Amino acid sequence: METTLRGVGVSHGVAIGEVRHMGTAVLEPPAKQIPAEDAAREQGRARKAVEAVAADLIARGNLAGGEAQAVLEAQAMMAQDPELMADVERRIAVGSTAERAVYDAFAAYRALLAGAGEYLAGRVADLDDVRNRIVARLLGVPMPGVPDSDEPYVLIARDLAPADTALLDPTLVLGFVTEEGGPTSHSAILARALGVPAVVALPGAGELAEGTVIAVDGSTGEIFVEPSADKKAQLEAAAAQRKAALSASTGPGATSDGHKVPLLANVGGPADVPAAVEAGAEGVGLFRTEFLFLDDSKQAPSEEKQVEAYRQVLEAFPEGRVVVRVLDAGADKPLDFLTPADEPNPALGVRGLRSLLDHPDVLRTQLTALAKASEGLPVYLEVMAPMVADRTDARAFADACRAAGLRAKFGAMVEIPSAALRARSILQEVEFLSLGTNDLAQYTFAADRQVGAVSRLQDPWQPALLDLVALSAEAAKAEGKSCGVCGEAASDPLLACVLAGLGVTSLSMGAASIPYVRATLAKYTLAQCERAASAARATDTAEEARTAAQAVLSGE
């Protein structure tokens, strides 16, 4: 009998297939004592397993490229954490086997993370994955990961570790559903990059029996269990209609009456560029530069290495706009040479621009590398700072850009509510704003973007978040400057229309979302988008906002 479940849709498309569950490694190795003379050998086994797992994660990252590479390299750093390794060796010295020492050391670290506030608690899934991989290697059992199957299937998991999501085979994995996660979690972002339909934050997903046929609608977040023939036909027809609309829509982003809304791509490095070009991106609205710095947490990459990487991206968009975000370190992206080790709440501590202002040599080198990389190119380079809180931050960043001889527009990301509330003040120092809606939602609602239990508050349709977007866009218009959105909110086609109606001047998203947004924008006039935006802001919940905007745009 057909039943309907609802989670959070995070990646467009429809998938219909049989359920397969994510495999897990043996979670708890047996506890047994070893003779003292075996300790050195066991410590050696532990070190080799850790290095092998770290190397495997880095290799997966190199294969996946882009955003996935940065995430996986951060996970490899987690595996090699020296304090964790010291704890493992200490436990072996007093009689534990290598696998049990790893299990217990990670359990202790896990407890610390889980109790250190929601932001760090969101890293627990990544930590568990690293632990399972090391223990599996030591025990000689299969690694956790996607199931073996010759037939396409829908993958079900409690949560998907970045190492698994990054290398999903879209020809076999039709879509995936997870119990945990949120619309801006690592898995959601990587799913959109892959173009795989996905639904997250679905309680009880793990109870779906192996082999059950389900239909996943990654746009609405609906899961249809044992769908009827009529429901399958209806979903497939809607998917075909969507595909036809995408094929028919080409060219620059614009509303049906010709109001231009440039559609740009979010990229994590040179590996993401081909997909962006193929999708018709008009440039890059968010070039995340962290991928370069995660190669070595002990020191920043050389100026020469940075110049080479930046130039590869800049050359791909002649006459186009490329917006580079300087290093956003801290919180879930710690770097030994930048990030304080003893912060009680890293999400509210020294991260982003704050880290760079504390280490001006790192910022100076990056800005100088960007200046050299853009020399002689016809690209429109723009450089922005993450985590700008006020005019003082904006002025410090602009001064650093000028001191480095950077011939580019300087901008500020709006990720902190204070920046939205005082946007006009900030625009006295910089030339554009870019709204990072993922972090802006996190800080507005005190809701960690990685925690499924608070995903309701991470919904970019929340009216309070739309109010902050409107404040920023209105300030930019008053100053004659631009205000884009580079958070995942831009990848929702319906919300993209609302953002245009709020006055946002450009939208940047994962390459796979660009055709959906382009086709949807082209169906409506700017006036319709403005009315939809007003209707959404007049509501009290995210669901009401979405429904109200849809009603306006559908003419109801």
For 6-22, b/e burial (b = at least 16 CB within 10 A) is: ebbbbbbbbbbbbbbbb
Q: Among 494, 473, 502, 500, which residue's Cα sits nearest to residue 549? A: 494
435 sits in which H/E element: strand 432-435
Q: Among 50, 71, 46, 51, which residue's Cα sits nearest to residue 61? A: 71
Q: Among 418, 493, 492, 498, which residue's Cα sits nearest to residue 458? A: 492
Q: Among 24, 23, 3, 19, which residue's Cα sits nearest to residue 210? A: 19
C-alpha to C-alpha distance for 464 and 413, rounded to whole angstroms:
18
C-alpha to C-alpha distance for 442 and 450, rounded to whole angstroms:
10
C-alpha to C-alpha distance for 280 and 343, rounded to whole angstroms:
42
**Cα dist from 179 to 149, 182, 204, 304, 421, whole Å:** 22, 10, 7, 44, 35
Query: Which of 12, 401, 483, 486 is labelled catalytic?
Result: 486
Q: Which residues contact residue 453 at a Cβ distance below 8 angstroms, ignoring those fewer than 6 apart?
A: none
Query: Which of 12, 186, 497, 529 is labelled catalytic?
Result: 186
Q: Which residues contact residue 406 at a Cβ distance below 8 angstroms, ignoring those fewer than 6 apart?
A: 367, 368, 370, 371, 383
Measured torsion, CA atoms of residues 383, 385, 391, 397, in degrees rounded to the nearest 10: -70
C-alpha to C-alpha distance for 495 and 545, rounded to whole angstroms:
10
Give the position of tokens 């467009």.
12
Q: What is the DSSP letter of 144?
A: S
pLDDT at position 43, please?
Answer: 93
C-alpha to C-alpha distance for 229 and 486, rounded to whole angstroms:
39
**Cα dist from 189 to 77, 185, 307, 423, whole Å:** 21, 6, 27, 27
pLDDT at position 47, please?
Answer: 92
pTM for the structure as a whole: 0.70
pLDDT at position 295, please?
Answer: 67
Give me the half-sphere count of Cα atoms (radius 13 Å) on the Cβ side of residue 260: 6
pLDDT at position 371, please?
Answer: 96
109 sits in which H/E element: helix 98-114
Q: Where are the alpha helices (DSSP H) in 115-173?
A: 118-121, 124-139, 162-165
pLDDT at position 118, please?
Answer: 47
CA angle 541, 547, 550 (to 5 degrees): 140
pLDDT at position 152, please?
Answer: 92
pLDDT at position 161, please?
Answer: 72
Backbone Cα Rg of the chain: 24
At 22, is the secondary structure helix, strand, or coil? coil
Length of the chain: 556
pLDDT at position 83, please?
Answer: 86
pLDDT at position 119, please?
Answer: 45
Q: Is the dihedral of CA 390, 392, 398, 400 positive or negative?
A: negative
Give the position of tokens 């002990």.
298
72 sits in which H/E element: helix 66-79
CB of 465 closer than 8 Å to CB of 437:
yes
486 classed as catalytic: yes
pLDDT at position 448, please?
Answer: 79
Give me the half-sphere count of Cα atoms (radius 13 Å) on the Cβ side of residue 500: 34
Q: Which residues contact residue 376 at a Cβ distance below 8 angstroms, ignoring those fewer than 6 apart?
A: none
C-alpha to C-alpha distance for 403 and 410, rounded to whole angstroms:
12
Q: Mean pLDDT for each consecutive 10-residue tract of the chain (556 residues)?
A: 86 90 73 89 92 85 72 80 89 92 86 57 70 85 73 88 72 89 71 83 88 91 93 87 76 96 93 90 94 75 94 92 92 69 78 93 96 94 98 98 94 98 98 95 85 77 97 98 92 95 96 90 97 98 94 88
At 263, is the secondary structure helix, strand, or coil? strand
**Cα dist from 413 to 281, 392, 463, whole Å:** 21, 14, 20
CB of 324 closer than 8 Å to CB of 267:
no
